[in-house]
Amino acid sequence: MRAVLSLGSNLGDRLGHLKSVIDFFRPAVVAVSSVYETEPWGVEDQPDFLNAVCIVDDPARDEWAWLRAGQSLEARAGRVREVRWGPRTLDVDVVTVDGVRSDDPELLLPHPGTPDRASVLIPWMEIEPDAVLPGHGPIRELLEARPESDRASVRLLHPFPR
């Protein structure tokens, strides 16, 4: 199944952590956004994040397989879940999977924070400008609805290293 994954890191080798996800999923990677630096969201007293979005496609993986793989990569990067929206070595969010809807508390799809996060919408729009977030509409319109300060807080750093 085709999935959109949002990647973030604000501890340790931030770029290395993001790159580890792409390297792991390499055969299934369809597209990877540039790397963006963003201000923290939720808990603001922490380092800035590096963020990217990737699109992956693998007929052998369903939404649960994408979630479990992301959680495994987070664990390998030493992620510790102590504070909600707190600092982390690696965050791999499953944004959407082939339009699947899920209200399971462990896997909410589409990811509920997406419409409010320019840090996801901007990189996603870079690689899939006509994308639609199921139940919410075109990501371009979602991004345009965000305050200018939110959009300005997402700073392009460079293309994703290959």
d(CA 136, CA 60): 27
In sequence order, which ranges of the chain are alpha helices (DSSP H)? 14-25, 63-76, 118-127, 139-144, 148-152
Of residues 14, 61, 88, 117, which has the active-site annotation? 88
Higher pLDDT: 14 or 85? It is 14
For the question of residue 93 being annotated catalytic, the response is yes
| Residue 16 backbone dihedrals phi, psi, to 5 degrees | -60, -40
Of residues 79, 117, 146, 150, which has the active-site annotation? 79
d(CA 1, CA 65): 10
Please, are residues 94 and 67 in contact by the beta-carbon 8 Å criterion? yes
Reported as a single tens digit per residue, the pLDDT across 40-89 is 877 677 899 999 999 999 999 999 999 999 999 999 987 666 666 567 88
For the question of residue 155 being annotated catalytic, the response is no
Reported as a single tens digit per residue, the pLDDT across 104-146 is 999 999 999 999 999 999 999 999 999 999 999 999 999 999 9
For the question of residue 101 being annotated catalytic, the response is no
d(CA 51, CA 138): 21
Q: Is 7 helix (H, G, I), strand (E, B) or coil?
A: strand
For the question of residue 91 being annotated catalytic, the response is yes
Of residues 14, 61, 91, 117, which has the active-site annotation? 91
Of residues 57, 58, 62, 93, which has the active-site annotation? 93
Query: Whose CA is closest to 97, among 161, 14, 160, 6?
Result: 6
